[in-house]
Amino acid sequence: MTKSTSVIRTVAVWIAQIGVAGMFLLAGGSKIAGAAMHVQLFDAIGIGQWFRYLTGSIEVTAAVLLLIPQLAIVGALLAIPTMVGAIATHLFIVGGSALLPSVLLAASLGIVWARRRQLTTFIPGITAGGSGLEFRTHA
């Protein structure tokens, strides 16, 4: 990879991270603040308002982590199951469009892919080899 390609890639990843973090901060913050739209949505889900607070807290946490270079992959990994749940909720429980959570899921997956070498910091047994990630087995 040339230096200019590397710079472009880094800038693109950061733009994605900032955009996804901004969306999660807005969505999570409004859930925690009790915006009427979210209160009604979580009433329709039927689990209880505690789940709105939990989801909002996860989204805000993911947003903050996405803005810390060493922890950005953790933020993206936290966002992935949250968006899978949001998509499933829209498709099977409350209806409406699942487009925004689908876009955020795709962006989060892209961030994880771009930062996959950071997994070596968090998961024992994974090393960054020449062609990608390698798993060590213990005999």
- Give the closest residue to 59 by CA, choosing from 38, 83, 36: 83
Give the chain's mean pLDDT: 91
Instruction: Give the mean model confidence (pLDDT) for residues 80-99.
Output: 95
133 DSSP β-pair partners:
128
pLDDT band at 137 (very low <50, low <70, confident <90, very high): low
pLDDT over threshold 60, residue 139: no
Q: Considering just the CA atoms, what is the radius of gyration of the chain in Å?
A: 17
**Which tens digits make up the pLDDT trace of 5-60?**
889 999 999 999 999 999 999 999 999 999 999 999 999 999 999 999 999 999 99
Q: What span, in angstroms and rounded, lies between the C-alpha atoms of 41 and 58?
A: 17
